[in-house]
Amino acid sequence: MTPRRVVPLLLAAFLLIGTAGQAQAAGYRYWSFWDRDGGTWVYATQGPSMARPSDGDLQGFRFAVSENSGDAAQPRGTADFASICAKTPAEDGTKRVALVLDFGTAPDAPSGETPPAPRTACAQVSPDATTADALAAVAGPLRYNTNALLCAIAGYPKSGCGEQVSQEQETRDTPSASAQKNASDDGGPSLGLIAGISVIAALAAAGAWQARRRRNATR
C-alpha cells in the first residue's frame, strides 16, 4: 500500500471518529410552553411564572426532547377554548384560562417512566393570576428547580429537569444502544472511536508490511 493511498484512508478514519462524537449531541428534555394564536401554536416569549393570560386565552405545555425552541415539539390535538371551558361558566372577578397538557411520547420519557395521556383543563383564577397560578389550580403538583424552571406538571416526570439527552439515550431501548450508553457512562471510549482507532492500526500495519516486502525484494 503506497503512501498516496494510505493518507486518504487515514483522513477518512479521523472523519469517522469526529462524526461519531458529533452524533451523540441531541437536545434537552423539558416542558415547553406555548400560546395559541388563532389556529397556530406559538412558542411563549415568557415563562409561565411571568406570563399573565387574559380571560379566554388558550395555552399549552408539551414534554419532549428538543434542541431549541425552533424545533420544539408542539402540544398535540385540536382543542380550543370554547370546548375546554364549556362546562366552566364565567364568574365576576375571575378569568378562565384553557390549558392543553401534552405529556409527550414514550421515546421522550425519562428512563423507567411512562407519560400520562394528554389532557385539557379549564382554570378559573383571579384576574391577576399568572399561567403558573392557573396551572397549579388544575394540574398540581408542580415542580420547579432553583432557577424557577418548570420541571414537572401533575408530578410528571418524577425526577430530572431540563437535562441534556444524547442520541444514544434516546434510542436506549435497543441492546446495542444500551451497550454504547453504558460504555460512555463508565468513561470508556465510544464505539466510533474504537472503530476509527482499529482502522488506523490496520492501515499502519498494512503499510509496514508493504515496506518490508519492498526492502526484501531489493536485497
Give yes or no for residue 148 having a pLDDT over 80: yes
Using left for φ > 0, alpha for ψ between -120 and 50, and beta otherwise, residue 24 falls in: alpha
| Structure confidence at residue 167 (pLDDT) | 60
88-97, 121-130, 157-166: least confident range: 157-166
Q: Compute how many other C-beta atoms are within 10 angstroms of the C-beta atom of residue 8.
A: 9
Share of the chain above pLDDT 70, in %: 64
| Structure confidence at residue 199 (pLDDT) | 44
| Digit-coded pLDDT (tens) for 101-124 | 999 999 999 999 999 999 999 999
| Structure confidence at residue 218 (pLDDT) | 54
Half-sphere CA count of 53, side-chain side, radius 13 A: 31
Give yes or no for residue 96 having a pLDDT over 70: yes
Give yes or no for residue 68 having a pLDDT over 60: yes
| Greater pLDDT, 11 or 147 | 147
| Structure confidence at residue 69 (pLDDT) | 85
| Structure confidence at residue 9 (pLDDT) | 45
| Structure confidence at residue 166 (pLDDT) | 78
> What is the rounded distance in angstroms from the CA atom of residue 219 to the CA atom of residue 211?
13
| Structure confidence at residue 207 (pLDDT) | 55
**Domain edges within the chain:** 3-23+171-217, 28-164
87: amino acid identity, one letter: K
Share of the chain above pLDDT 90, in %: 59
| Digit-coded pLDDT (tens) for 6-49 | 444 444 443 434 444 444 457 999 999 999 999 999 999 999 99
Confidence label for 208 from pLDDT (cuts 50, 70 and 90): low
Contact 57, 46 (CB under 8 A): no
